[in-house]
Amino acid sequence: MAHTIQSRKTATSLLSSVLLAFALIFSSSSFAVDAALVAEGKTLFKANCASCHNPLQNATGPALKGVTARWEAGGAYQGKSGKEWLVEWVKNWNTPVNAKYPYAVEISNWAPSQMNLFTTLKNEDIEKILLYVDNSESAKLAATATTTATAGAEAPKEDSNIILYLFILLLVVLAAILVSVTNKLDKVVDESKGLASEAKVPFWKTVKFKVAVLLITLVCVGFYLADNAIRLGRQQGYQPTQPIRYNHALHAGTHKIDCQYCHTSASKGKAAGIPSLNTCMNCHKNVQKGPEYGTEEIAKLYDAVGWDLATQKYVRPAKPVEWVRIHNLPDHVYFNHSQHVVAGKVACQTCHGPIQEMKEVYQFAPLSMGWCVNCHRQTEVQFAGNNYYSTYEKLHEQLKNKTIDKVTVEKIGGTECAKCHY
């Protein structure tokens, strides 16, 4: 009897342990899902909301933490819950205001500006944003959405002529082998003729070796002169020190800020343009401390725009930041950013490299004539759905008839001299 009771206790204990294990697994998996959703919400928040909102403090817009509870407290209205009206507000704030939803009407006149429209945001994306702002202080939940900058890609070092050195070494080895083989053959010939072998002369004193060294020297000097002549005026790998350490790996990489959010003229004109300091202040009125440099670099921005952190006001006239230009082309070269971005649909990284991984920006590509011409010869033009190329009727007809399988930039005149030099 005692044995049976003990067995039942053991079985019960074992079952409890199993159930507890399942509960822990279930709770931990639920936690992981929540963490993933919060991480996605943080990315969406930074891409759409962070320029005006901060979860924990008022900025251009009100602090958002607890926003779901505030709207739900407004109660149901016209068959929709408060949270459903909140989703409508995010998409187009006019919708709940025009419907006279009380809480929407109450906050519609928030100073200093009105809410932007986000009609393309999906409901599930808005849910993720709301989940993030309500859990923005939870380090555990937001662990997968780290705010530290990724390690910046190292700037390519100046060519150390390693190819040249390897070439020299190869020629020296070949010369030594040839001299050794020649000496052995001479010895064999002498012995076959019954002649006494001459006293060995060190190979570096032979005429053959001296001629070989002379030829190698001429080849190397010629290679060096030609290589440096080709590189004249180019600055691949150029990485100047900027007055404010702006981390592209953090902004474009970690926070996924689109290049054209800052470089607004890249799709509109010849130059990509330097972002105005007001663009920086869209976020940095709220973001007052960075993950790596703390307040040091952001303080330089505040000083340049005349922003007083204590009063949250502009108290001095702005002064320009003297950024150092990195990508320079000769005066006789014409390059148009908008033509490549809009018509060619060329990604920024094609010319500028993995900018989203660069802690400090450097010139990734050589930007040489040969580099550009090769790109034009190889790059396929995106004809489909691109009205920019609608006038090329002959090429469209050839594609339709499958006379050609693709159109490269070269086929629309991309390698003609006058396209870039005039």
pLDDT tens-digit readout, 220-249:
888 888 877 877 778 888 999 999 999 999
| pLDDT at residue 334 in the model | 93
| pLDDT at residue 59 in the model | 66
Model confidence pLDDT, tens digit, residues 83-98: 898 888 888 888 888 8
pLDDT greater than 60 at residue 348: yes
Q: Which residue has the higher pLDDT, 290 or 8?
A: 290
DSSP line for 391-412: T-HHHHHHHHTTS-S--BGGGG
Model confidence pLDDT, tens digit, residues 43-74: 777 767 876 777 777 666 777 888 888 888 88
Which residue, 354, 350, 333, is CA-closest to 341? 350
SS3 376: helix
Q: Which residue has the higher pLDDT, 178 or 279?
A: 279
Report the DSSP beta bridge partners of residue 77. Answer: 80
| Joined tokens for residue 367 | 């930007």
End-to-end CA distance of the chain: 105
pLDDT band at 181 (very low <50, low <70, confident <90, very high): confident
Task: Give the residue-averaged pLDDT of 289-314.
Answer: 92
Residue 328 identity: N
Q: Are 260 and 342 in contact (CB under 8 A)?
A: no
Phi/psi of residue 205, nearest 5 degrees: -100, -5
pLDDT greater than 90 at residue 296: yes
Which residue, 251, 31, 38, is CA-closest to 144? 38
Task: Give the residue-averaged pLDDT of 177-195.
Answer: 77
Q: What angle do CA 155, 159, 160 make, to 5 degrees?
A: 120
pLDDT band at 167 (very low <50, low <70, confident <90, very high): confident
Task: Give the residue-averaged pLDDT of 120-140.
Answer: 76
Model confidence pLDDT, tens digit, residues 101-125: 888 888 877 654 567 777 777 888 8
pTM for this model (two decimals)? 0.53
pLDDT band at 177 (very low <50, low <70, confident <90, very high): confident
pLDDT band at 272 (very low <50, low <70, confident <90, very high): very high
Q: Which residues of the chain form CATH 1.10.760.10?
A: 28-134
Burial class (CB in 10 A: 0-12, 13-18, 19+), 372: buried
pLDDT greater than 70 at residue 330: yes
pLDDT greater than 50 at residue 415: yes
| pLDDT at residue 143 in the model | 35
pLDDT greater than 70 at residue 13: no
Name the superfamily (CATH) of residues 28-134. Answer: Cytochrome c-like domain (1.10.760.10)
| pLDDT at residue 24 in the model | 35
**Long-range Cβ contacts of 64-69 (<8 Å, 24+ apart):** 64/133, 65/133, 65/134, 65/136, 65/137, 66/134, 67/130, 67/133, 67/134, 68/130, 68/134, 69/134
pLDDT band at 266 (very low <50, low <70, confident <90, very high): very high
What value does the mean pLDDT of the chain take? Answer: 78
Cα–Cα distance for residue pair 240/412, rounded to 1 Å? 37
Q: Which residue has the higher pLDDT, 251 or 43?
A: 251
Task: Give the residue-averaged pLDDT of 123-142.
Answer: 71
| pLDDT at residue 324 in the model | 94
Please tell me the total number of residues recorded for the chain in this structure: 422
